[in-house]
Amino acid sequence: MAMPLRCIQSAAAILAESKGTRRCSTAVSARSPKGDQALGLPSRPKKVNRGSCILPPLHAAPEPIGSTSAISPESLTGSLESVEVLDLTGKAIRITDLWRDRKAVIAFARHFGCVFCRKRADLLASKKELMDSAGVALVLVGPGSTEQAKAFVEQTKFKGEVYADPTHSSYDALNFAYGVSTTFSPSAGMKIVQLYLEGYRQDWGLSFKKDTVARGGWQQGGIIVAGPGVSNILYIHKDKEAGDDPDVEEVIEACCS
């Protein structure tokens, strides 16, 4: 298992290029004892979702902004190099191979029965035609077994690629948020009500499978945009709590602009 990272936070130089200036929003680890806090940036053309980060190109020297624990894309991918996930046939695949030779949007679900994840899957799938035209793969990884992954695909008709991470290794390596307080919050409760009104449902059968119960169902997920190239991490969003969706247009900008 790759060594867990305490923080995957903003590590971006404000880099002027011929096509404009790249930007990086700020993020604070959801496990920080002080909680999330907004960190100012020198120049930000528009408000972006806290917890998300569009990273600079790798030839730029990263400069931590507001966080001494910021790390480089190379350090991030180094922690993932030994992580494997399973495709729907049960074949093990190194997770970094998902974006080694292509650009991909990789969504990490809380678990395969999660109602929030089903909504997020639909939001991303609604942009799949745009991703396809840009040559970008849409991928979902969930903590659980290949059987759970297959059930998720059957129930949701998700058109992207789906992989299972039965050991939670990718979640540990990315240091995604985890805990009761990140799962049960007033805002998460309100979002569940809204999702049920929209017709979404939690699959409690999948939710109480051994793979999920072993971790209490307290795991949170996130989204990365990466590739081509193992160390080419373009965007990171880490959910602070259940239902903490990024701005989908922000994801599209990172993957398809």
Mean pLDDT of 97-114: 96
Percent of the chain with pLDDT over 70: 69
Are 233 and 226 spatial neighbours (Cβ–Cβ below 8 Å)? yes
CA distance 255 to 154: 27
User: Tell me, what's the pLDDT at 53?
Assistant: 53
For residue range 114-169, list pLDDT tens digits in order: 999 999 999 999 999 999 999 999 999 999 999 999 999 999 999 999 999 999 99
Residue 58: pLDDT above 50?
A: no
User: Tell me, what's the pLDDT at 194?
Assistant: 87
Which comes out higher in pLDDT, residue 2 or 148? 148
CATH 2.40.160.20 assigned to 86-256:
no
Task: Name the token pair of 121.
Answer: 């899957």
For the chain, domain boundaries = 86-256
User: Tell me, what's the pLDDT at 17?
Assistant: 37
Task: Name the token pair of 3.
Answer: 């060594």
CA distance 32 to 36: 7
Please tell me the pTM assigned to this model: 0.69
Identity of residue 166:
P
For residue range 192-220, list pLDDT tens digits in order: 888 888 888 888 877 777 666 666 678 99
Residue 86: pLDDT above 90?
A: yes
Are 150 and 88 spatial neighbours (Cβ–Cβ below 8 Å)? yes
User: Tell me, what's the pLDDT at 69?
Assistant: 36
Helical axes 186-197 vs 115-125, angle rounded to 10°: 60
